[in-house]
Homo-oligomer: A and B are copies of this chain.
Amino acid sequence: MLDLGTIDRSVDRPPYRQIADILRRHIERGRLAPGEQLPSEAVLIEHYGVARMTVREAIKELRTEGLVVAQHGKGVFVRSAPPVRRLASDRFARRHRKEGKSAFLAEAEAAGHVPGVDQIRVTNEAASVEVAERLGLKPRERVIVRSRRYLADGRPVEIATSYIPESIAKGTPIAEVNTGPGGIYARIEDAGHELAHFTEEVSARMPSPDERKALEIGSGSPVLTLVRTAFDTSGTPVEVCDTVKVATSFVLEYDVPAQ
């Protein structure tokens, strides 16, 4: 049986934090294992002799820390251990494209996950200011916009949106839902743009409500954002890809020369 301890109202730490501390400690020490259910609100109210909102504040704190997830009608559960994946630095090795694998598929399989893609949407739009700038286009030039969601073992882990100049994508499967083996990078090379290098800009933040919904995560889970620009051998940007990843599902690995 879990030792819920007691709160001390004379100390300056407010009761809801003390309750959160006690539960957090149990989680960190494994006495509340991943997947296990926390005591219900009613039990905590009774045990500590506090009001409902006080207990809810405590649990809210744990939720924003990403330690627990609440399920309406069922209970509050300790978040299960993150399925750490790894973006190898040979992510864009040409050999993978030769083998007909897209980067995500290659990685997810290497990490022992069953990869999946859904919610593919392909549209033709006028470039936004940011996209035009990154692609070296004039604002409002046309770009093919490809958005999709990636899954690992059936769970959403990443949403991605690619922007390719219409001048490159025209007449290729890039504008189709199914791009064929090797993904869009293979098709860009087919179109005569040999890829030379990529730049990636990585940062992290809290997800917007839309992103939370698409990635099926709670408000306590941060996301990694990655903006990748692909350049061909002439130095021309040929694609910009904007991705939002569930932070706990990824480790990005890079190799940097010392020069």
Contacts and interface: CB of A to CB of B under 8 A. Distances in A.
Chain A interface bracket (under 10, 10 to 19, 20 to 34, 35 or more): 35 or more
Given A205-B222, A248-B205, A250-B203, A258 B197 contact: yes
A252 B203 contact: yes
A119 interface: no
B253 A199 contact: yes
Interface of A is mostly: mixed
B61 A256 contact: no
Contacts of A116: none
A89 interface: yes
Contacts of A252: 201-203
A253 to B, nearest CB: 5
B255 A197 contact: yes
A213 to B, nearest CB: 12
Contacts of A199: 89, 253-256
A61 B219 contact: yes
A257 interface: yes
A204 interface: yes
A195 to B, nearest CB: 4
